[in-house]
Chain A
Amino acid sequence: MSIAVETRALTKHYGSVRALDGVDVTIRAGEYFVLLGPSGGGKTTLLRTIGGFHRPTSGQVLLHGTDVSDQPPDKRPTGMVFQAYALFPHMTVAQNVGYGLRLAKLPSDQIADKVATMLETVGLDGLGNRKPHELSGGQQQRVQLARALVLDRDILLLDEPLAALDAQLRKDMCLELKHLQEKVGITFIHVTHNQEEAMTVADRIALIADGKLVEQGSAREVYEAPNRRFTASFVGENNLLDGRITSVSGGIATVETGGGAISLPSIDTASQGAKAAVSIRSELVALSTAEDAQISGTYVESVYLGLTTSHRVALADGSQITARVVSGTGATPEPGAPVHLSWPADAARLHID
């Protein structure tokens, strides 16, 4: 598969602030690629630099193998969907969608045809004569999508396109975006800080924090097998226990944490005496009997979350670990009672950052 977008050592400074710090990323053509990370981490800066709205301080942006680092947005083969406020309020929906085609000097009958087809594609047929303020938030974002897709460009940049929508609408739109991308078959690069949104739509996810690319992989890889401590802390609900490696032998490392010693599969960079962190997804931790226990502590409380209930347990050093179970299953101990916790042998992951 060909490469649609590539950044090489991409760096962007704002005065003394490093918004991007040597980011190398490769995005395949036709891929739904998500840039996920905390606010202020640099993911929007990366997207906007790919789109030509920021000039990189150093490094390169290549689109289909061509260096476009010095080209303005109107010269790049990209479309863009913004978080909000980006529709032209003095134009109708149809005029908004047809604006780029008008700039391209297409005949007006062709513009009308393409606009009508695209409005149908995004589920807005019949609303072409409305002004943007007469539409709901979800409809406005669909107009933005139509306006970008109608240009037949093969890379679409989406800057937190669902952030301004309510939770239910965001879920619906996530699936719609995914299906739309599969239908049109072009490269989507989507920025979000919402991991559920990212996992719903992404073929691949890249985690961006402090201006750096932390880790990338499929949604399943990033969720189930995070390599970096930051990824484990940001994606899913992971228990993180910091400590020091006391032994590495036969592919098993033992980490002395504040709650006790934990043995788990080792990694190449592990060495005795090194600082390390252990992550275990909360849904893989269970309250267990003393014989099966991998760690023990004192029961603190349960938090009912609807589908699941979180049991919080304090360890010897005061840190807490969470076991998340399907609500209504298992007994709930009394606060202050001694409890034991266990997890599958391969559930714990070792991180040395």
Chain B
Amino acid sequence: MNDYANPWGYRLQWMYLLLVVTTLMSPVFYVMYVSFNENGFGAAEYVFTLEWYGVIFTDKLMMNALGWTLSLAVVTTVVTVPFAVLAAKFYKTARSKVWVVFLLLSPLFVAADIFGAALLVYFKNLNHTLVWVGDWMDTGVMDGWFKLGFTTAWIGLIIYTIPYAFIVVLITMGRYKVQQTEAARACGATAWRAFWDIEFPQIRPGVMSACAFTVILCFNEYTRTSLLKGGFDTFTTVLVSQMLNEGMSEQSYAMSSFVSFLAIAAIGSIILWTLVRSEKLGAEARAKAAPVAS
């Protein structure tokens, strides 16, 4: 804020921000609120309980779905984040940066259901082709490679999450100067050592954020996953189908809240850690900053 700006303009901007965040988060807070009510949604009387949180761990369908979702989230993160880092590194050195951004963000320009359906058709055709090739080669080893299931859902999630992870890593990489890598190379570091010793420590917060973001996106994703998952269920598909068929159960509220708590805790921890660390470094710098001659 500059000295001549109206202070109410500044306050209004904060109020606007808080209003937007409150509007976005109110439904989530309401779900959390309901999840602690012994009488569930819509009851006239609110009785606080942790019972539903105990029950969710006995719900085999939900726990099974959660297990699959976690597995998908882990393997997706393992592929997506390194790929996003490589893409961001490429972006930094690319001459035509607009094209790199366009190509990497292109999956976002296609509606989720269209992309999911396209992948579904693609995998079915690919599977038929591989089966045909297998028959021709007199082997069945390729028959199940692209049958709808974990692998196809995994690929769908990788395509979905890479643009987001790329953007998150790229933002952190903005602070990093390529001269530092060159300086490391001049000191005798191989390309990998220069990356690991010099670049990675500086982009680590972005990489960690991209990991957290990718996991959260895997939990959020419904359309592509439901089309590509084949015979198993994920947390979101179970939740949505329960809601459509039976309405939200108390366990569903508790499970939704539990996952939201985890996500908020993960992201909040990263933000807090970053703030505390930067404050600590700033304090150290101020303490050491005695005037010295150049």
Chain A interface residues (CB < 8 Å from chain B)? 51-53, 72-74, 78-80, 82-90, 99-100, 103-104, 127, 129-131, 133-134, 136-139, 144, 147-148, 151, 157, 169, 172
Contact = CB atoms under 8 A, between A and B. Distances in A.
A74 B285 contact: no
A138 B294 CA distance: 6
Contacts of A84: 179
A144 B281 CA distance: 22
Nearest to B285: A134
B177 A85 contact: yes
Interface in B180-235: 180, 182-191, 193, 197-198, 201-202
B186 A88 contact: no
27 contacts: A73-B186, A78-B186, A79-B186, A80-B186, A82-B182, A82-B183, A83-B179, A85-B177, A85-B180, A86-B179, A86-B182, A87-B183, A88-B180, A88-B198, A90-B201, A90-B202, A99-B184, A103-B187, A103-B189, A103-B193, A129-B288, A131-B285, A134-B289, A137-B294, A138-B294, A148-B187, A151-B188
A99 B202 contact: no
Contacts of B5: none
Interface of B: 177, 179-180, 182-191, 193, 197-198, 201-202, 281, 284-285, 288-289, 292, 294
Given A131-B285, A147-B183, A100 B188 contact: yes
Main secondary structure of the interface of B (DSSP, over half): helix
A86 B294 contact: no
Given A130-B288, A133-B285, A99 B197 contact: yes
Contacts, number: 82
Contacts of A87: 180, 183
A339 B135 CA distance: 101
B292 A139 contact: yes
A99 B179 contact: no
A88 B285 contact: no
A147 B294 contact: no
Contacts of A148: 186-187
Given A130-B288, A134-B288, A137-B294, A86 B189 contact: no
A134 B292 CA distance: 10
Nearest to B185: A73
Contacts of B197: 88, 99
A102 to B, nearest CB: 9
Contacts of B185: 52-53, 72-74
Contacts of A82: 179, 182-183
A122 to B, nearest CB: 12
A242 B251 CA distance: 92
A136 B294 contact: yes
B177 A86 contact: yes
A151 B294 contact: no
Given A86-B177, A103-B193, A136-B292, A74 B188 contact: yes
Contacts of A100: 187-188
B294 A139 contact: yes
Contacts of B191: 72
Nearest to A83: B179
B202 A144 contact: no
A89 B204 CA distance: 14
From A84, A103, A138, A144, residue with most partner B Cβ within 10 Å: A103
